[in-house]
Structure 1
Amino acid sequence: MAKKPLILITNDDGITAKGIRTLIEVMKTIGDIVVVAPNKPQSAMGHAITINDTLYCDPFVFDPEAIHKEYSCSGTPADCVKLATQQILGRKPDICVSGINHGSNSSINVIYSGTMSAALEAGIEGIPAIGFSLLDYSEHADFEACKPFVKSITERVLQNGLPKGVVLNVNIPKLPLEGIKGTKVCRQAKAMWVEDFDKRKSPQGRDYYWLTGEFVNEDKGEDTDEWALSHGFVSIVPVQFDLTAHHAIQELTNWDLS
């Protein structure tokens, strides 16, 4: 009998979020799981780690009848992966899956994403990793349509591995299963948030600010994650944590920097 893979599960919406409970449900059909996730929402934390505060990671019981282990962490998604690999698991997991995020992590959102920071941290540690997101920000989002895609993509990564230094950013459109046309491997769209700060005044008379913004996609390419999602496909973007702009190296070497 083949040995089951060890799967590390985490997220950024918190250990009780509906998305991670769906991810746990799917992963239990694939392998042995351990959950290490934040004890509260940590959305848009990017790759933050805890260095100036105490870090706690306690056993957590969501389902008293569950046979797998879960841990609730006071830190960020990246902290969760670090603690899991260095203190809890005793060995590297065969794969790390993060999510399912409540909301999009396509295009430029990948930079800010706590979901993807956990996947990237796993990738840095040499663990195949996937971040999953559903384009629905609702606390009560319906994740049923995600399940077959989450399962099949995870199984393919376990079978084939990933290129060195690469993790997957998977976004799923908010559609019923019969409305999703399939998957597309694509690139990150060149888009951005045009932001503003709404200046307000507290009852005590102190100024404060509320971030607002509009997502603007000026990328007309039909090979992007935004195009795929708007046309009913699950987008799969290979992401790397080497941020070197290799194409700019030659130009900079021609500068007089002495």
Structure 2
Amino acid sequence: MRILLTNDDGIYAPGLRALRAELLKLGTVTVVAPATEQSAAGHSVTLLTPLLVNEVYEDDATTFVGWAVEGRPADCVKLALLELLPEPPDVIISGMNAGSNAGINVLYSGTVAAAIEGAFYRHTAIAVSLEYDKKIYDFPTAAKYARQVIEQILARKPMKGSLFNVNLPVLEHGPIHGVRVMPQNVSPYTEKFDRRVNPRGRTYFWTNPEFTCPDPHPDTDVTALSESYITVTPLQFDLTDHAKMEHLKEWEWKVE
């Protein structure tokens, strides 16, 4: 099996390294990932500057890992599929992200965006993220669980272009209770900004990293994660509201 591995935390991120070690048990793994962290980059792509690319090797300086790209996660997948890989991959994995990508975070996530880009090109794509508590991550254990979930998804031979979002709960809270297929929670998160003043008297703001979901609807990815379940959410990138579109077709539209 040929696996393309990418992320938004950067090619040297420990989550990617741990997931790569597990995915090597399934086949050959080629990494094409951002050279630097691109968290919350969403589905942005680079248009006005060149995409610089460097080969990356293991510490032994002889084992080829892949390419570091001076660009966004979606750029990495585009370059991999159109320029860098000698053969198309059998699956595209994005992760493992440091922090969950559940609920509306899916819309901001560079991790999920990279998977979506792979699905654009009709490849099975899976985004993988690990929820944290006080910035504590057990990436090796989480990667083992993630690899098992990925194996089960691929064993079902999903249709080309299938897209999955996998989130793992905080492992330090106790044992994993299982896997649940859940819809995305669409409640807004509570967000804050830290207001500060620089030495020149200019006001600036830092985004506060603490996000909470005050209304986590039951039976969604956010609530299942809080109950120590791994969540799997099938996604699609067709944003058309088909039910509302039928209603709009009944309107009498006029222009003068």
TM-score by length of 1: 0.91
- 1:118 equivalent to 2:111? Answer no
User: Map of 1:1-258 to 2, 5 A cutoff?
Assistant: 5-64=1-60, 67-136=63-132, 141-176=137-172, 179-212=175-208, 214-221=211-218, 223-258=219-254
Instruction: For residue 145 of structure 1, report the CA deviation from its aligned partner.
Output: 2.7
After the TM superposition, which parts of structure 1 deviate over 6 Å for at least 4 consecutive aligned residues? 137-140
The answer for unaligned runs of 5 or more in structure 2 is none
Rounded Cα–Cα distance in structure 2 between residues aligned with 1:230 and 1:137:
11
| Higher relative strand content | 1
Q: Alpha-carbon deviations, 1:13-56, whole Å to 9, x = none? A: 01111100001101111101110111110000000100011111
Contact 1:94 1:158 in 2 (8 A): no
Rounded Cα–Cα distance in structure 2 between residues aligned with 1:63 and 1:138:
30
Change (3 A) 1:189 1:140: closer
| Matching residue's letter, 1:245 | D
Instruction: For residue 165 of structure 1, report the CA deviation from its aligned partner.
Output: 4.3
Rounded Cα–Cα distance in structure 2 between residues aligned with 1:219 and 1:174:
17
Change (3 A) 1:54 1:237: same
| Matching residue's letter, 2:200 | Q
Contact 2:56 2:64 in 1 (8 A): no
Q: Alpha-carbon deviations, 1:38-75, whole Å to 9, x = none? A: 11100000001000111111101233266443111100
Q: Please give the secondary structure, in 2, of the residue aligned with 1:218.
A: coil
Instruction: For residue 143 of structure 1, report the CA deviation from its aligned partner.
Output: 1.4
The answer for unaligned runs of 5 or more in structure 1 is none
| Matching residue's letter, 2:128 | F
Rounded Cα–Cα distance in structure 1 between residues aligned with 2:135 and 2:58:
17
- How many residues are treated as equivalent by the alignment? 253
Q: Structure 1 residues 140-149 or 80-89, which shifts more?
A: 140-149
Q: Structure 1 residues 146-155 or 158-167, which shifts more?
A: 158-167
Change (3 A) 1:35 1:255: same
Q: Alpha-carbon deviations, 1:193-214, whole Å to 9, x = none? A: 2334433221122222222364
What's the RMSD between the two structures over aligned residues? Answer: 2.0
Q: Alpha-carbon deviations, 1:226-253, whole Å to 9, x = none? A: 1211111001001111111112111111
Q: Structure 1 residues 13-22 or 145-154, which shifts more?
A: 145-154
TM-score by length of 2: 0.91
Change (3 A) 1:183 1:226: same
Instruction: For residue 149 of structure 1, report the CA deviation from its aligned partner.
Output: 2.1
Contact 1:165 1:240 in 2 (8 A): no
Change (3 A) 1:140 1:39: farther
Rounded Cα–Cα distance in structure 2 between residues aligned with 1:203 and 1:115:
36
Rounded Cα–Cα distance in structure 1 between residues aligned with 2:25 and 2:203:
51
Percent identity, aligned pairs only, is: 38
Q: Please give the secondary structure, in 1, of the residue aligned with 2:97.
A: strand
